[in-house]
Structure 1
Amino acid sequence: MSLKKFSNLITTKKEFNKLIQSTDDLRKKVIQNLNFTEENIDWKSLKIQGTTFLGCDFKKDDAIYLISQGAFVYPKFTGYPFSPHRKKLYDWQELMDGYSEEMDESVDLKIYNHFVKHKYNPPMEEALAERIHDYGIDVALRNILEFDEFGMSERKVVGFMGGHSTKRGSEYYTKVALAAKRLSEKGYFVATGGGPGIMEAANLGAYFGNKSDDDLMHAIEILSDLIFTAENQRDYFAKNYISQSKKVLELYPNGAENLAIPTWFYGHEPSNLFASYIAKYFSNSIREDTLLAICLYGIIYAPGSAGTTQEIFQEAAQNHYGTFGYYSPMVFLGKKRYVEDTSLYSVVHQLAIGMPYKELLYLTDDSELAVEFIENNPPIMV
């Protein structure tokens, strides 16, 4: 049974009217950002104890009655550069609105600059606004992935993780882009952490899932034509990093759908423009856990540093204990990195001895073999 809509959250008047026509029981419902000041609703005819109203507008007497009957009424938040009451995921156009090569005045940066002021000790109102925002992102994400009653998503999500400093056009950038393209072509839904490097490569490759390999290689050439500053040679600090991405999108519009799940926690990085959906969180712990949890059809790990290492062992723990009801493939793309340089594959392989997910571990240098392994090894129900 596919749960195509997260049924507890009501975000439109149409949904609300349909609900009260079918039932008088609003208990455990969450009603978000609706204006009831022009409505003549008979609240006394409804069961509203425990109903949550987030950022809704009421007539004064109605608000007093709802609170007196045990409803939770949270006020609107004002003065924030973000809407705590998200009804959908972001896209890059919204986040990058206001950006130019001369001056970054993007919505993304404004939100980050606001967030960082209270990053370590947020006052209650700030913390609550962030948590409600992230809850809205949770719901919007569930609605596009469509989980069934057993915790399996309608979309076959495969994740890619690896270094955010991986240069455009480098060996593993290209390998990951090709692997993501193949998976997209085969009906998988590619997800990443949403940043530059390996994450961008995977979103780019998935975006080109309905285009040719030659088109993808041409796009990578365009992306690699960067103008660096003398003091910093990282791709995402290049003067034309964003504009080269826009050139690709203009030349190759209407790409295949894919997902990015970034965070404002680590700092401000240029947004990845190749993701169709962007589930951006304030809480990195929720974001990290969510990204790993939804990739039930597997994760491909390209070479990365400390962040990638953390993600490897976090996913290994989820697999080890069957945390989300399934054992999922873990593919290590890069023998030198994961055997010679770090022994990470060997450690995870040793941990998996005697566990069902041991058969879902795979080490290769070949992106085509990585895709083949994902295709031939679907998730195993715990």
Structure 2
Amino acid sequence: MTPECPDCPKPEPEHRIDPEAIEKEHRFILEHPDRTLLGGPQSRWRELKTLWRVSLDFIRAFRTLHFAGPCVTIFGSARTKPGTTYYELARTMGAKCAELGFTVITGGGPGIMQAGNQGAFEAGGRSIGINIELPFEQTGNPYVTKSVNMHYFFTRKTILVKYSYAFIVLPGGAGTMDEMFETMTLIQTGKIRNFPIVLMGKDYWQPLMDFVYVMADAGTISPGDPELIFFTDDPEEAIAHIHRHAVRQYGLRKEKLPEPKAVLGERKTPAAG
């Protein structure tokens, strides 16, 4: 029996754990693979199935993007409507990145993601969507020339970073901030090279940038870390920054992509048109 603890708070009746609550939690966890992954220890068989599903996520993505060439990833909200200022800014950036020779990668959904893919598609470039299976909000957009669907957020974020030499961040919510700060952390810790992060939407992001400098002043990040973020609303400045810190710095040049092997079921990443 659990020893008595006179100083411990007593749980209210609605917070008591009973077999029905435990069964309800089990059902909740089993409804979606992310919940199984994050739901604590499972049976060995279920953990093995989870590892296999994670591997399948990566295998599908590696095969899809193997022939993508150098990429730029565009992050932003799925809720931004076509025709709005930030949608058109993302569309412009997608086109300019494609004209620079990059494949444009987004999360594959609507909003800013669709705008980035649309710009690349309309410019005749390669446009890829890394979609996530969600019960709401996320549906594939029609401007991708190649796409892959993923079960897990963490595998998707890995792929959105793995192939890119620059990252463009437009207004978004918690997911967009998560993607930007994870990318920044990977650069801080030397896990990836010092690739440019371009933050666009000054009216929207100014409080966030102010707080980045607060963190630097407080010593919780290095004094030079805010300089990892290039903050602008000017597409020409943004593209010049990407050209200077990605194309020239890493010696990127337009080359013929490797040929896929038919015996492995491989296909090139097509350009639009």
The question of a shared fold, defined as TM-score above 0.5 by the shorter chain, is answered with: yes
- Structure with the greater relative contact order (CA < 8 A, sep ≥ 6): 1 or 2? 2
1:353 to 223, 247, 265: 223
Amino acid of the structure 2 residue aligned with 1:193 = G
Query: Aligned with 2:83: secondary structure?
Result: coil
1:327 to 191, 194, 197: 194
Q: How far is the alpha carbon of 1:367 from its aligned partner?
A: 2.1
Q: d(CA) in 2 for partners of 1:367 and 1:319?
A: 23
Aligned residues: 209
1:314 to 175, 182, 199: 182
The CA deviation string for residues 38-70 of structure 1, in whole angstroms up to 9 with x for no partner, is: xxxxxxxxxxxxxxxxxxxxxxxxxxxxxxxxx
Q: How far is the alpha carbon of 1:271 from its aligned partner?
A: 1.2
Is the contact made by 2:95 and 2:122 (CA closer than 8 Å) also made in structure 1? yes
Q: d(CA) in 2 for partners of 1:166 and 1:317?
A: 26
Q: How far is the alpha carbon of 1:135 from its aligned partner?
A: 3.4
Is the contact made by 2:97 and 2:120 (CA closer than 8 Å) also made in structure 1? yes
> % of aligned pairs identical?
25
Amino acid of the structure 1 residue aligned with 2:205 = Y
Is the contact made by 1:339 and 1:345 (CA closer than 8 Å) also made in structure 2? no
Amino acid of the structure 2 residue aligned with 1:137 = R
Which residue matches 2:235?
367
Is the contact made by 1:316 and 1:348 (CA closer than 8 Å) also made in structure 2? no
Report the CA distance shift for 1:346/1:197 in structure 2 as closer, same or farther (over 3 A): farther
Q: How far is the alpha carbon of 1:209 from its aligned partner?
A: 1.3
The CA deviation string for residues 180-225 of structure 1, in whole angstroms up to 9 with x for no partner, is: 1011011011111111100000000010113xxxxxxxxxxxxxxx
Which residue matches 1:136?
59
Q: d(CA) in 1 for partners of 2:95 and 2:174?
A: 26
Which residue matches 2:119?
205
Report the CA distance shift for 1:346/1:340 in structure 2 as closer, same or farther (over 3 A): same
1:167 maps to 2:34: no
Q: Which runs of 5+ in 2 are unaligned?
A: 1-28, 38-44, 251-273
Q: How far is the alpha carbon of 1:134 from its aligned partner?
A: 1.2
Q: How far is the alpha carbon of 1:354 from its aligned partner?
A: 4.1
Report the CA distance shift for 1:263/1:338 in structure 2 as closer, same or farther (over 3 A): same
Report the CA distance shift for 1:322/1:197 in structure 2 as closer, same or farther (over 3 A): same
1:127 maps to 2:50: yes
Q: d(CA) in 2 for partners of 1:269 and 1:353?
A: 37
Q: How far is the alpha carbon of 1:265 from its aligned partner?
A: 4.6
- TM-score when normalising by structure 1: 0.49
1:292 maps to 2:206: no
- TM-score when normalising by structure 2: 0.67
Which residue matches 2:100?
186
Report the CA distance shift for 1:349/1:181 in structure 2 as closer, same or farther (over 3 A): farther
Which residue matches 1:273?
142
Is the contact made by 2:75 and 2:176 (CA closer than 8 Å) also made in structure 1? yes
> 1:68-87 counterparts in 2 under 5 A?
none
Pairwise CA RMSD of aligned residues?
2.8
Q: How far is the alpha carbon of 1:286 from its aligned partner?
A: 1.2
Q: d(CA) in 1 for partners of 2:176 and 2:209?
A: 12
